[in-house]
Homo-oligomer: A and B are copies of this chain.
Amino acid sequence: MDDLTEETLVFQRIADFHEWFAERRAASACSVTRARLDQLDGWHIQQGTGTIQHHSGKFFAVDGLEISTDHASVSSWTQPIIIQPESGILGILVKRFHGVPHFLMQAKVEPGNIGLLQLSPTVQATRSNYTRVHKGKAVPYLEYFQAPRRGRILSDVLQSEQGSWFLHKRNRNMIIEITDDVEVLEDFCWLTAAQLGELLRWDHVVNMDSRTVLAGWPLAETHWGRDAAIDRDQLSELLSWFTEAKSRYQLTRQRIPLTNVKNWIISPERIVHENDAYFAIVGVDVKGAGREVAGWSQPMIEPRHPGVVAFVTRHDGDEPRVLVHAHTQAGTHDVVEMAPTVQCAPGNYEDTPPDRRPSFLDYVLSAGRERVLFDALHSEEGGRFYQAENRYLVVEAGPDLPEETGPDFAWMTLSQLAELARYGNYVNVEARNLLACLLFT
């Protein structure tokens, strides 16, 4: 093996990455323009029900959902939601050069990304993509993530995605370490963990799919050092806290015709909430190179406000601990998942009296700069969400944090959170994204 050849697109300095990334951006001419929902090429609005779906019946659909729960600020509501029963593959290839793990990342345009081009996993493909429903190009590197596989499996788990916007969607998150020679295709590059950590501190560079996959990177490989042995009794307490929350609350959902959602204004152009809150369903036309197909149209979710996703942490033991929230959302698979301390769009709570605002929201937003350990803006999934921006925050708890946080919250170590994230539908996508930021920075 010729290391010099093989290590093509390993960057000595992060500035070299930025130069390469700027080149890729220039090469990936792409335009995204808004379009009316009733004029999206390949899509139709079903007579009667209003369901927005693809002619192939594949990809995804936008439909209505009725939610009843005793674990939200209102006990029932209806909303549009994305129905995407297929699960895709999000996979990152890892290879050690001179002992240092490198991650094969892809510069990829997605219509909803802020800045359009961001770093994706090696493979980011829905089943429709990789079974080539749209007759596009083959997905490169897919063979590393499909049976029969070679390589060392570091992570492989079906994980949930945004519960406010997806019903039961999940993707297979994989990290595979190989020793094979790999051809580095155009748009791909190798990055070290340290480089990824630096880029996670930049706004809108590392995409959501990369972040959720990176949450599976073993803690022992990070600067946090060896995995602390997981204490059985402590883990039993946490699992019991989670089981208790699942048992304490109820969540029932029923799909309804999209035309039956209440408090939403449906027009041939778009769907908006009557208070101009939450999100809208909009259409986009995409023209651009570097994708499986030359151009396409699709509906997307456009959030009305940017969000805040924050962990409150404590460094009073051997290992930092994070305050995890047992959280229920419209699309949550099984009543609750483990969410960050705070996860909401503050813009939706502007007129809410202080005692009814989300717990710890004001606490994290008002934290002094010296207590903010991590602060970056990231885009959510650019294939479904249009310019969905979250502020990812890690805030060290001060002495003013109440000792008693209530039954919906639990403190856990990074090791414990990382261990739970190895199982599906325990740790939600926002918490996994923050976990990735903590593991790599």
A172/B247 contact (C-beta < 8 A), A236-B154, A240-B153 known: yes
A246 to B424, CA, bound (A): 12
A110 contacts the other chain (Cβ, under 8 Å)? no
Q: Which of A27-35, A225-233, A376-384 contacts B (4 or more CB under 8 A)?
A: A225-233
Q: How far does the Cβ of A142 sit from chain B's closest Cβ, in whole Å? A: 13
Residues of B within 8 A of A247 (CB): 87, 158, 172
The interface bits of chain A over 235-255 (1 if a CB of B lies within 8 angstroms of the residue's CB, else 0) are 111011001101110000000
A243 touches B158 (CB 8 A): yes
Interface size for chain A: under 10, 10 to 19, 20 to 34, or 35 or more residues? 20 to 34
Tell me whether chain A's interface is mostly helix, strand or loop, or mixed.
mixed
A229 touches B229 (CB 8 A): yes
A115 contacts the other chain (Cβ, under 8 Å)? no
A213 to B272, CA, bound (A): 49
A142 to B246, CA, bound (A): 18
Residues of B within 8 A of A153 (CB): 233, 236-237, 240
The interface bits of chain A over 386-430 (1 if a CB of B lies within 8 angstroms of the residue's CB, else 0) are 000000000000000000000100000000000000111010000
A246 touches B156 (CB 8 A): no
A169 to B96, CA, bound (A): 46
A152 contacts the other chain (Cβ, under 8 Å)? yes
Query: Please, which residue of chain B has its CB at the minimum distance from the CB of A333?
Result: B334
B232 touches A220 (CB 8 A): yes
B172 touches A243 (CB 8 A): yes
Residues of B within 8 A of A147 (CB): 244, 248, 407
A229 to B227, CA, bound (A): 12
